[in-house]
Amino acid sequence: MGATKSSAFSIKDNTIAKVANALSHPARVAILKILIKRRACICGDIVDELPLSQSTISQHLKELKHAGLIKGEVEGVKICYCIDEKQWKAAQVLLNDIFKSYKEAGSDCC
């Protein structure tokens, strides 16, 4: 979505969309599961666990970092990644809010 279109929506809505976009690929979900399971910064080990090339995993890590779900630190020639706890909790609140806002419509809904 272009900048002119996204500006028509709230910051909250844009943030939810950014998080949802990051979660929209199964490889990124798998990467998040690996990071959650390890509960530590991971450098090159992700490549060993997924049937994807290093460059593909790097691109998915970039998307997750752009959404704020993970953070990366340079250690020598590698970048090590882990869950960004502060942003993770903020994303959780945003997504919970949208799901909690739904009330069952009853029988008059299609």
pLDDT of residue 4: 62
Q: Is residue 38 part of a domain?
A: yes
Beta bridge partners of 70: 83
43 versus 53: the higher-pLDDT residue is: 53
Pick from 3, 66, 53: nearest CA to 27? 53
What is the reported pLDDT for 63? 95
Q: How many domains does the chain have?
A: 1
Q: Is the pLDDT of residue 44 over 80?
A: no
Whether residue 103 is contained in a domain is answered as: no
Query: Which residue type sits at 13?
Result: D
Residue 37 lies in a domain: yes
**What's the CATH number where 58 sits?**
1.10.10.10
Q: CA end-to-end span of the chain, whole Å? A: 29
Quick check: is 33 in a domain? yes
Provide the residue range defining the domain that includes 36.
Answer: 11-95
**Residue 109 counted as domain residue:** no
Average pLDDT along the chain: 88
